Amino acid sequence: MRGGQRKNWVSIRICVRLKPVGSFIGVNHCQKFIVLSDYSMDQVDQYHHLKERCIKIPGGIDIDHFSPAVSKNQAKEMLGLTEYPFLLFTVRSLRHRTGLFELLDTIMILKPYIPGIHLVIAGVGPLKQDIENKIVTGNLQSSVSLIGRVPDEKLPLYYKAADLFVLPTQKLEGFGLITVESLACGTPVVATPVGANVELLRALDERLLTPGSGASDMADTILKFYREPNKLIDSKACSEFAQQFSWEHIADKVENCYKELVKK
């Protein structure tokens, strides 16, 4: 950076992540807040009353990485999942707010109606033992796999192999980058109407949102798409929608934000 420009750039303060009052130092000194969604913007306004300083720039992904050049069946074969005719996938921190206990209840509801249904849960967190216990007490050992952390290089294959990605959030979904990753791989996402899930999926197909955040709500939506797959948005539409979240597009928006501040 040229010396003449350095002073202008140093004077610009942009906060890209905001927490409740008292946990973020220097909020009032920020000229601009980059938030990931309208939902996040509302959170900023609720805690700090600074909505007028916000600019929405969504999260970005590596589109090339999340475009595996294999078919769904090939992905299943590569992962050893060919025995499951209807495969659900989710990536979640193992915490209450992420909705995994409700999702396990959903699988219990669906088992009698969807032969061979199987849920793969990727992720780590403090409630691992509790989730494992629920899998056992719910007699879900043959219907649920808890696989821990998935390496980045394998994650696109899991997205691709799934018939549906499920996002069972119960609260505080600021954007949902995993939603975009799944869509980029061509796999539709069924999500609860919580946080930014609403604005993100409504822009694609509102039918992907469940009526509520409970197990029966998720079960009804998943069962509907299982019984009437022609009503599910196709793989091409999913991947085309995700293109707008490529790092190239998102980086341009961030750069433009800085440029506008420099002009001021």
List of domains in the chain: 3-60+246-263 (no CATH), 72-243 (3.40.50.2000)
Rounded CA gap, 20 and 10, in Å?
A: 26
Say which residues have a Cβ less than 8 Å from residue 58's Cβ, sequence separation at least 6.
Answer: 36, 37, 175, 180, 245, 250
Rg (CA), the chain: 20
**Which pLDDT does position 17 carry in this prediction?**
46
Rounded CA gap, 110 and 115, in Å?
A: 9
Query: Per residue of the chain (264 residues), what is the pLDDT tens digit?
Result: 333 333 333 334 444 444 444 445 566 777 888 999 999 999 888 888 888 989 999 999 999 999 999 999 999 999 999 999 999 999 999 999 999 999 999 999 999 999 999 999 999 999 999 999 999 999 999 999 999 999 999 999 999 999 999 999 999 999 999 999 999 999 999 999 999 999 999 999 999 999 999 999 999 999 999 999 999 999 999 999 999 999 999 999 999 998 988 887
Rounded CA gap, 151 and 232, in Å?
A: 29
**Which pLDDT does position 140 carry in this prediction?**
98
Q: How many CA atoms lie within 13 A of 219 on its CB side?
A: 16
**Which pLDDT does position 262 carry in this prediction?**
86
**Which pLDDT does position 26 carry in this prediction?**
61
